Each structure stands twice: as C-alpha cells, then as structure tokens.
C-alpha cells in the first residue's frame, strides 16, 4: 500500500493496462448493443409509420422499458441470461431502443407530404420511396436518436460491471466501495470523455448537409462494427473454476491482492456486484466468490466458507461504537449495550441475516425473536429521559443490530430512541457519528482499521493475525483521534471470505484457500 | 383523350366528389375551378390514382386506368404540385432525372432532354448542381415543371401549380406557360381557385361546387351563358377583366374596321382582347397589325375596345 497520497495520474499510469482494457470493453459494449438496437429499432420505427395503430403500443412499451431503473433491469436479466456479456448487452439494447424507434418514427412521419406525394406521383414504388426519399430525409432525426442512444449507453454501460460484463464501471464501483477517489475518477473521467466524444462525433454527422449524409449513413455501420469489436470477453472464462469477486474485494490488500501475494492464488476473477454474486454461485455461473462470512445467503444458497489458513483476511468483529459525550449523557447506555456482548456467534448472525435477506422477515421481528430466545426482551418503558440516536449502514445485518439495540435501550432504560438507518457506506455512517448526528452505530474492527483509520500496511500486517490486538488497536486509536469508544464485541466476525458451493467443495475436497490453490495448480 | 365517368369519392359520410363525368380532348387545357373543399383536387388526384375512387371509372386514350399498376400509370402522367414537391436532398439535375431513371433511360438521352428543357424553361445549366432551397420560388416551380415534362408524358396534371408564387412572378410564369410549345402538345388538367388564372390559361373550365360540376364550358360560355346563379356570382368580381380575357380577337374580328396596312404582323388574333390591350400598352403604339388567317388588319386601341363592347352587347341580347 502506498503511504503517500497517490495522484490520479499515478494511479492511471499504474493501472494503464486495466484502464485500457476496461475502456475498450466499455466502447465495445456500448456499440454492440447499439448496433443491435439499430438493427431492431430502425425497421420497427419504419413499420409503425406504416401501421400507425401500433405506434402507440410500440412507443409506449419502449418508453416503459426506458423507465425501469438500470440496476433493476440488469437484475431481471440474470435468471433469463445469467451473468456476463449477454444480459448486459440486452439491457443496454433495451435502453437504446426508445430513442431510435421514436426518432425513426418522428423522422419519417415528419417528411414533407408534398415531397412524398411527388415521389408517389412520379411512379416510385413504396421501397423506392422509403430508401430514396423517406430515409434520407429522416436521416438527421434518426441520427439524433442514435446519438441519444449512444450517450445513454455509455452511461448505462458503467453498470455492466455489476453483472461481470466489465467496462469502466469496475473502477467506478470499486472506487466507491474502497473509498478510493482516484479509482472512481479513473473510471468516471474516461466514461465521461467517451460520452462527450461520441456525442460530438455523431453531432458532426447529424449536421452534415443532406448530400453528404448519404455517405455518412453508409460509413456509419462500418464504424459501429469496428467499435463493437473492441469488446473482448473479460478474461475469466476458460479456467477450471470460475471466480467472481466484488469490485471492493478486487482492489483490497485483504482481498484479491492478498490472495495473489500471500497465497499465490491466481483465479482470474471477473468483477461482479455482490447483489447478484451469491445467486450466480448458486446457479453455477460462478464457482468461487468473495463474500462476508455472516451473510444470510450463505445458508440460503448452500455455500461454504473456505478456511483462511494464512490469515490474510483481518478480523471484522462487530461492536457498537459510541460517542464519549453520549456515554456521559446517558450513564446507563454502556451497560445496556453490553448486554449483547458475546451473544451473537457467526452462525447465529448468519441465521438472523438469512431470515431478513431470504425469508424477508422484518428486522424488528428478527430482533424481537432473537431477544426473546435470549430472555432479554422486555416491554418498552416509554422513557422520556433523553433520546439516543442510533445509526446503521445500509444492509440487513446492521438493520437487525440497530433494532436489537433499540429494544434493549427502550426495555432497560428510561431513554427514548431515534434511529437513522440506511446510512450509505462506512464513510457516511462514520461521518454522521463523528459530526454528532448520531450517538452510536455497529462497526467492525477490520473496517475501523482499514477504511477509517487507513492504517499503514506495516501496522495492519502486525495486527491482522490476532483479533484481540486489532480490537485493542482500533479502540485506542478511536479514543485518541475521535473520542469515540468501542464497546465490547458482539461476538461474530463478519470477515471477508472465499466461498464455494458446499457440494462442489466436498467433491473436490477443498476446505482451505490453500486447498483451492493446490487444486487449481494440479489441473493446470 | 381523358374520359371520366360517374366518378365518386366518399370520405366517410362526406361526398367529396359526387358522381361527376367529363371529357378532355387531346391537347386541351381543362381547368378545375372552385372554392376550397369543392372536390377539384380530389378529382385530379384520382386521375393518377393518388386517391382511389369510391365508384366510377376513368379512361385515358380509351384504356381504363385501373387495368394497370399505379406506378406504370403515373410514370406516363406529369404531375406538378403547389409546393413543387422537389426532393430537398437532390440537386436540380437529380430531381429532373427521377422519372427517366425509373423508366431506365440511358444517360445520354436524359442529358439531351434536360438540356432541351432547360432552354425552354429559361433555366441555366449552372443551376443543375444547385439544391432546390438555393433557388427562388419561380425557379423552383420551373424545375417542378421540367421534372413533370422530362419524360414527355402526353398528360399533365397540375395541382394549384402557381398558388405559392407572388403576383409578379405568377403573371410572368403564366405568360411563359402559354408560350411554351412543349405544352401545346399536352393534355392538361389544372386545379385552381384563382378565377383570373383559370380564364387566362384554360381552353375549357369546369366549375365545381360541393363535389358536383356546376358548369363546364369555354370561358366565354361561363361568362355569357352562365348555367345558374352560382356561376354568375362566382364570376361577378373582376367580371370586366374576365370578359376581356375570355374573348379572343378572332371572336370580334368581324367587328373590327377593315383598314389594311402594310408591314409585318404584331399580333395574332388567337390571343385574348386583354392580351391585345396589354400589347398596346407595352409597345406604346397607336395602331398594331393583327393577323387572322391570311388577313392582316391595322387596328387602334379604341377600335379594339369598341368592337369588344359591340360583341358583349350582342352576347347579352342573344
């Protein structure tokens, strides 16, 4: 890890081959889908000028497709087309369809009726009128539609990285998860430049005079095909086992980088969003994935965690972190929060997560059921002796913990509680705490060490093998730097983990990451 | 040449054209005249099948036009529109070449024909490479006419061809139109709502109202023998000028003084009295030599007008 602040330029130079590949993939994705959208959209647009009664349905449907949020559309594609290139292209093409169909329709219906009548009266047949009169005259409008579609596609293609189709989204979303501004910019700036560049080039095409547009319209397909061929399938496919890692995992020392340097494990992973990664593993699209050891989907999808025998994943023990002034203001708070100390093991947390994530029970119900089983559930005292503000990050486990703490405080003290759940990522949540917007939230030791303190790599190496040392270190540093106190750990360790389908792991007798490495090497 | 029988076109419950019949002879110029919505344009467009009739039939040269494919039919009929309908993405040359190309003429034949037409229509060869929007309205209309005439079709249909032009340009084009010998060989059906234009250009005028023909006949017939009150009131405005235009010098020949004079002929008696009067003005002449058949008479402006009034009185008493 670099200890001095790396500049964007250094980052881009260091990652130049990745950047180039992602850019080419991005351009390729954009234009493959664009070509298909033109091939479908242009005839469709022409057809509805002939069958006006269908124009409403066709344009309406294309309009509705446009309004589906991109992530949701990609999500719909997975059961149908799996992950990777195919669903990404289909999703992009659906977005590109509306501007192309609509502009073809508008362009052709907008051709001067006198001109069409003259063409007809001179004895041209309907195909001659289409190709010699209507399409050439509608071409500026059609090109404007293609231009809009291109710019939309350049933007939406960043999301393709969610489903392992590559593109500049890998940097963008990796950077967001890693709180690495350089990485975000290294993806976002080229994406923006691509959008501007293509928009500019197509605008030039659009304003060519009517005669030159004929040559332009002829060269356009050639150009599109060349650009589309930029895409080559991300290099994951072909190995014995297919691995898919989240963008965050890809860029972390305690993630793929550590796997490569400490284990010498080279799995050529594809990059994929954690929202679809578990399911993809379950559906055998992927064999090895990166995940969290307490994730509820582990249970839902019959996945097992591979043992980290060389200890590269630092411990992520969860504990509430609280502002010290809040502890002074609410004297009973510390005692109450510590009621949960040591009560939730990995398997219990995993089960609780399974209930919210997979059985879709509310966090409140899951929290109440858990407390009841531990005989900790008490009726609310409806206290009015001040309000404790509890925050949480935006995933199920944190919601459950926030609910549990709410019930504990209401049942055991005279304080009232207000919750601010769903506070984006670590940065947002911690900033809220540090700026006295909330009093406490559950945090993980590893996150404190790496993301918040951004400790130097030497320190990290020295600490990660031992969970207590890590805890002591972050507790000390937080107190010193932020006047924030780490209370007693809750018990579970939500660390990074490599996981596989249980059945496959057994079959190949892979239990540890070292086993995985041996298996891969023996077969290569 | 063109025979229309019991032609009707209904749009829903509206009878745009209601069972009309008429005939146009070879090389005749028939004007379909009437107010907006009288069915004149619908009638015209049924002749080249831009609109299919509800009932009735049309024959060109004795052949039913519904016996042929509409494309083939249309390639043999010139068509001129009010807003010229030139292809904006084609040069003038390309616009004119559309029909020859459809007819698969070789390029030599096309070029020769274009050169011939350009000269007749007072267009310069420099303009061949121009795009329609680079030309004036009058020039565009000439190109539209050239495009309609290039394949030398025997029939020409014109839908308000001069409607979009300003008055000065229009009267200039009217004059050229009448002088164009190319058109003398054509059977022309022209739609207009402009009474002056109808009287100036038509051999025969078909006045329509509410989808029916009110009266069909020569301009003089309409003026002096109106079929009913509608015809009379339709022509009431500018009646005097219309009469000058409707009456030709040969019609009043016998009423002109017989004074013979030497020298060349200035005018031919085929033209209207109106055109004769214009000639007096433009040449600032006291007397002009007018030829009718083998006879040439020297006539003064006043003598011409006196003869015209005598003729008019005669018509009224008939």
Tens of pLDDT along B69-81?
999 999 999 999 8
Pairing of strands B287-292, B267-268: parallel
The whole-number pLDDT of residue B95 equals: 94
Residue A496 pLDDT grade (very low, low, confident, very high; cuts 50, 70, 90): confident
On whether residue A106 sits in a domain, the answer given is: yes
Give the confidence band of A7 by pLDDT, cuts at 50, 70, 90: confident
% residues pLDDT > 90 (chain A): 41
pLDDT of residue B262: 61
Cα–Cα dist A298/A384, whole Å = 41
Is the pLDDT confidence value at A236 over 50? no
Question: Of A115, A123, A214, which has the smallest distance from its Cβ to B85's Cβ?
Answer: A115
B200 φ/ψ angles, rounded to the nearest 5 degrees: -75, -40
- B81, B89, B91 ranked by CB distance to A118: nearest: B81
Strand, helix or coil for residue A396: helix
The answer on A510 and A469 residing in a single domain is no
Supply B68's token pair.
Answer: 């042929």
Which ranges of chain B does DSSP label H, i.e. alpha helix? 40-47, 70-75, 92-102, 107-120, 137-149, 167-179, 181-184, 195-201, 219-224, 229-234, 239-246, 273-283, 301-317
Closest alpha carbon to A93 in A147, A51, A32, A139: A32
**pLDDT of A417 above 80:** yes
Determine the pLDDT at residue B261: 62
pLDDT band, very low/low/confident/very high, at A213 (cuts 50, 70, 90): low
Give mean pLDDT, residues B245-257: 86
DSSP assigned state of B48: T
> Is residue B204 scored above 60 in pLDDT?
yes
A120 touches chain B (CB under 8 A): yes
| Contact assignment for A123 to B71 by CB distance below 8 Å | yes
Tell if the CB–CB gap between B74 and A123 is shorter than 8 Å. Answer: yes
Give the Cα-Cα-Cα angle A288, A294, A300 (nearest 5 degrees): 65
The length of chain A is 524
Most distant pair of Cα atoms in chain B: their distance: 66
Residues of B in contact with A114 (CB under 8 A): 81-85
* Mean pLDDT calculated for residue range A477-483: 94
Q: What is the pLDDT averaged over residues A75-91?
A: 82
Q: What is the pLDDT of residue A211?
A: 59
pLDDT at A524 over 60: no
Q: Find the CB nearest A123 among B81, B85, B102.
A: B102
Tell me the torsion sign for CA atoms A90, A95, A99, A105.
Answer: positive
Task: Report the CATH number at residue A163.
Answer: 1.10.3720.10
Q: Please tell me whether residues A260 and A325 are part of one structural domain.
A: no
- Tens digit of each residue's pLDDT (9 = 90 or more) over B104-139: 999 999 999 999 988 888 888 888 999 999 998 888
Claim to verify: residue A303 and residue A356 sit in the same structural domain: no
ipTM: 0.84
- Looking at residue A6, its pLDDT comes to 73
Separation CA A243–CA A271 (nearest Å):
9
Which DSSP helix (H) or strand (E) runs through A25? helix A16-50
Domains of chain B: 2-242 (3.40.50.300), 248-317 (3.90.1280.20)
What is the rounded distance in angstroms from the CA atom of residue B147 to the CA atom of residue B168? 23
Residues A173 and A259 in one domain: no
CB A490 within 8 A of CB A401: yes
Handedness of CA A276, A277, A281, A282 (dihedral sign): negative
- Which tens digits make up the pLDDT trace of A262-281? 888 888 888 888 777 888 88
**pLDDT: is A240 or B208 the higher one?**
B208
A416 within a domain of the structure (yes/no): yes
Residues in B closer than 8 angstroms to A123, CB to CB, are 70-75, 99, 102
pLDDT of residue A208: 67
Over range A310-333, report the average pLDDT: 91
**B146-175 tens-digit pLDDT:** 999 999 999 999 999 888 788 888 888 888
Alpha-carbon torsion angle A205, A211, A214, A215, nearest 10: -70
- For A135, the closest chain B residue by CA position comes to B89
A371 is a domain residue: yes
Q: Is A114 on the interface with B (CB under 8 A)?
A: yes
In this structure, are A248 and A354 located in the same domain?
no
Same domain, A327 and A420: yes
Q: What is the mean pLDDT of residues A79-93?
A: 84
B155-159: strand order across its sheet: B77-80, B155-159, B187-192, B29-33, B204-209, B212-217
Residue A429, exposed/middle/buried by CB under 10 A (0-12, 13-18, 19+)?
Answer: buried
Residue A111 is predicted with a pLDDT of 93
- Residue at A233 is within a domain: no
3-class SS of residue B89: coil
Q: Is the pLDDT of residue B264 over 80?
A: no
* Residue A518 lies inside a defined structural domain of this protein: yes
In the 8-state DSSP scheme, what is residue A136? Answer: H
Question: Which residues on chain B are in Cβ contact (under 8 Å) with A213?
Answer: 89
- Answer yes or no: do A364 and A306 share one domain: no
- Spatial separation of the C-alpha atoms in residues A239 and A224, rounded to whole Å: 31
Q: Which one, of A250, A117, A71, lies nearest residue A174 by Cα?
A: A250
The whole-number average pLDDT for the span A90-118 is 93
Q: Which residue of A has its CA nearest to B95?
A: A119
Q: What is the pLDDT of residue A2?
A: 43
Once rounded to an integer, what is the mean pLDDT over residues A57-61?
90
Give the span between the Cα atoms of A462 and A80, in whole angstroms: 47
DSSP helix/strand/coil, A294: coil
pLDDT at A402 over 60: yes
Which residue, among A112, A115, A123, would best test binding to B if mutated, counting the most B CBs under 10 Å from its CB?
A123
Mean pLDDT of A33-46: 93
Q: Which residue among B72, B89, B157 places its CB closest to the CB of A210?
A: B89
Cβ-based neighbours of A162, under 8 Å, separated by 6 or more:
A71, A74, A169, A173, A272, A273, A275, A276
Q: In which band, very low, low, confident or very high, does the pLDDT at A5 lie, cut at 50, 70 and 90?
A: low
C-beta atoms of B74 and A120 within 8 A: yes
Specify whether A210 is located in the same domain as A71: yes
Return the residue in A122, A127, A137, A212 with the most chain B beta carbons within 10 A, the one to mutate for interface testing.
A122
Say yes or no: A127 contacts chain B, CB-CB below 8 A.
Answer: no
Block residue for tokens 């309205």? B137
Q: How confident is the model at residue A148 (pLDDT cuts 50, 70, 90)?
A: very high
The domain total for chain A is 3
Q: Residue A40 falls within a domain, yes or no? A: yes
Q: Dihedrals φ, ψ of B85, to 5°?
A: 60, 25
Domain residue limits at A155:
8-228
A186 with A85, same domain: the answer is yes
Give B154 to chain A, closest Cα distance, Å.
14
CATH number at residue A356: 3.10.105.10
Q: Is the pLDDT of residue A372 over 80?
A: yes
- Do residues A308 and A323 both lie within one domain? no
Q: Identify the DSSP state of A296.
A: T
Rounded to the nearest integer, the mean pLDDT of chain B is 88
* Claim to verify: residue A59 and residue A29 sit in the same structural domain: yes
pLDDT at B318 over 60: no
Res A207 pLDDT > 80: no
Q: Determine the Cα–Cα distance for residues A463 and A338; give it in Å rounded to an integer.
A: 24
| Mean of pLDDT over chain A | 86
Chain A nearest-CA distance from B230, in A, is 32
pLDDT number for residue A366: 94
> Are residue A304 and residue A325 in the same domain, yes or no?
no
Residue A238 pLDDT: 47
Residue-wise pLDDT tens digits, A9-28: 888 888 888 888 889 889 98
Does this model's pTM top 0.90?
no
A248 falls within a domain = yes
In this predicted structure, what is the pLDDT of residue A3?
46
Identify the pLDDT of residue B181. Answer: 84
pLDDT at B208 over 60: yes
CA distance B94 to chain A (A): 11
- pLDDT at position A235 is 46
How many angstroms separate the most distant Cα atoms in chain A? 94
Distance CA B215, CA B227 (A): 6
A234 is a domain residue: no
């Amino acid at each position: 890890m670099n200890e001095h602040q790396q500049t964007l330029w250094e980052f881009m130079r260091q990652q130049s081959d990745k950047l180039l590949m992602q850019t080419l993939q991005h351009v390729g994705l954009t234009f493959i889908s664009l070509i298909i959208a033109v091939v479908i959209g242009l005839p469709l647009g022409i057809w509805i000028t002939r069958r006006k009664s269908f124009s409403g349905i066709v344009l309406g449907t294309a309009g509705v497709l446009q309004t589906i949020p991109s992530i949701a559309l990609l999500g719909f594609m997975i059961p149908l087309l799996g992950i990777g290139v195919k669903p990404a292209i289909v999703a992009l093409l659906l977005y590109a369809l509306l501007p192309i169909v609509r502009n073809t329709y508008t362009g052709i219906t907008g051709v001067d009726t006198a001109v069409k009548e003259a063409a007809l009266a001179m004895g041209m047949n309907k195909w001659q009128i289409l190709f010699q009169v209507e399409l050439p005259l509608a071409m500026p409008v059609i090109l404007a539609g293609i231009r809009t579609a291109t710019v939309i596609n350049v933007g939406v293609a960043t999301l393709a990285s969610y489903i392992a189709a590559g593109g500049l989204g890998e940097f963008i979303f990796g950077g967001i998860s890693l709180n690495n501004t350089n990485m975000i910019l290294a993806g976002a700036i080229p994406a923006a430049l691509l959008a501007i560049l293509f928009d500019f080039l197509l605008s030039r095409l659009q304003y060519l005079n009517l005669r030159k547009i004929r040559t332009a319209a002829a060269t356009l397909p050639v150009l599109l095909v060349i650009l589309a061929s930029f895409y080559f399938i991300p290099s994951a496919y072909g190995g014995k086992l297919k691995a898919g890692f989240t963008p965050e995992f890809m860029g972390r020392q305690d993630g793929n980088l550590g796997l490569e340097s400490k284990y010498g494990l080279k799995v050529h992973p594809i990059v994929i969003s954690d929202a679809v990664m578990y399911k993809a593993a379950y559906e055998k699209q992927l064999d090895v994935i990166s995940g969290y050891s307490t994730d509820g989907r582990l249970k839902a999808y019959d996945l097992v965690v591979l043992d980290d025998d060389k200890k590269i994943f630092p411990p992520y023990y969860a504990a509430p972190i609280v502002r010290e002034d809040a502890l002074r203001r609410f004297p009973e708070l510390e005692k109450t929060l510590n009621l949960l100390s040591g009560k939730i093991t990995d398997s219990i947390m995993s089960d609780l997560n399974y209930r919210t994530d997979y059985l879709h029970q509310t966090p409140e119900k899951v929290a109440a059921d858990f407390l009841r089983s531990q005989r900790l559930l008490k009726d609310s005292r409806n206290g009015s002796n001040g309000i404790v503000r509890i925050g949480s990050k935006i995933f199920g486990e944190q919601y459950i913990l926030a609910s549990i703490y709410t019930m504990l405080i209401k049942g055991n003290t005279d304080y009232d509680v207000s919750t601010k759940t769903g506070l984006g990522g670590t940065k947002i949540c911690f900033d809220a705490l540090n700026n006295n917007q909330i009093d406490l939230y559950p945090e993980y030791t590893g996150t404190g060490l790496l993301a918040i303190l951004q400790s130097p790599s030497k320190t990290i190496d020295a600490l990660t093998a031992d969970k207590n040392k890590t805890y002591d270190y972050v507790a000390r540093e937080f107190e010193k730097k932020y006047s924030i106190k780490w209370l007693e750990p809750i018990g579970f360790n939500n660390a990074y983990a490599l996981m596989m389908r249980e059945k496959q792991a057994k079959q190949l007798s892979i239990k540890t990451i070292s086993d995985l490495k041996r298996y891969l090497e023996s077969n290569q | 040449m063109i025979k229309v029988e019991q032609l009707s076109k209904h749009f829903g419950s509206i009878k745009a054209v209601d069972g009309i019949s008429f005939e146009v002879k070879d090389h005749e110029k028939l004007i379909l005249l009437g107010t907006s919505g009288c069915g004149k344009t619908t009638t015209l467009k049924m002749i080249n099948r831009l609109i299919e009739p509800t009932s009735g039939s049309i024959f060109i040269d004795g052949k039913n036009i519904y016996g042929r494919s509409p494309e083939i039919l249309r390639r043999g009929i010139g068509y001129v529109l009010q807003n010229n309908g030139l292809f904006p993405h084609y040069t003038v040359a390309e616009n004119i070449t559309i029909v020859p190309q459809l007819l698969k003429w070789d390029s030599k034949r096309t070029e020769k024909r274009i050169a011939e037409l350009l000269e007749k229509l007072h267009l310069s060869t420099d303009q061949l490479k121009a795009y329609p929007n680079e030309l004036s309205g009058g020039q565009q209309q000439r190109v539209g006419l050239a495009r309609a005439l290039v394949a030398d079709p025997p029939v020409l249909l014109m839908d308000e061809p001069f409607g979009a032009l300003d008055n000065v340009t229009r009267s200039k084009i009217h004059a050229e139109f009448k002088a164009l010998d190319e058109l003398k060989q054509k059977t022309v059906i022209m739609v207009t709502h402009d009474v002056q234009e109808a009287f100036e250009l038509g051999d025969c005028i078909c006045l329509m109202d509410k989808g029916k023909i009110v009266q069909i006949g020569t301009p003089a017939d309409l003026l002096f023998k109106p079929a009913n009150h509608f015809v009379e009131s339709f022509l009431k405005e500018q009646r005097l000028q219309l009469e000058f235009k409707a009456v030709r010098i040969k019609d009043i020949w016998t009423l002109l003084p017989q004074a013979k004079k030497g020298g060349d002929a200035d005018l031919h008696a085929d033209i209207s009295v109106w055109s004769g009067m214009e000639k007096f003005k433009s040449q600032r002449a006291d007397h002009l030599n007018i030829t009718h058949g083998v006879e040439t008479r020297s006539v003064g402006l006043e003598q011409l007008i006196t003869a015209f009034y005598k003729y008019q009185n005669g018509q009224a008493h008939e």
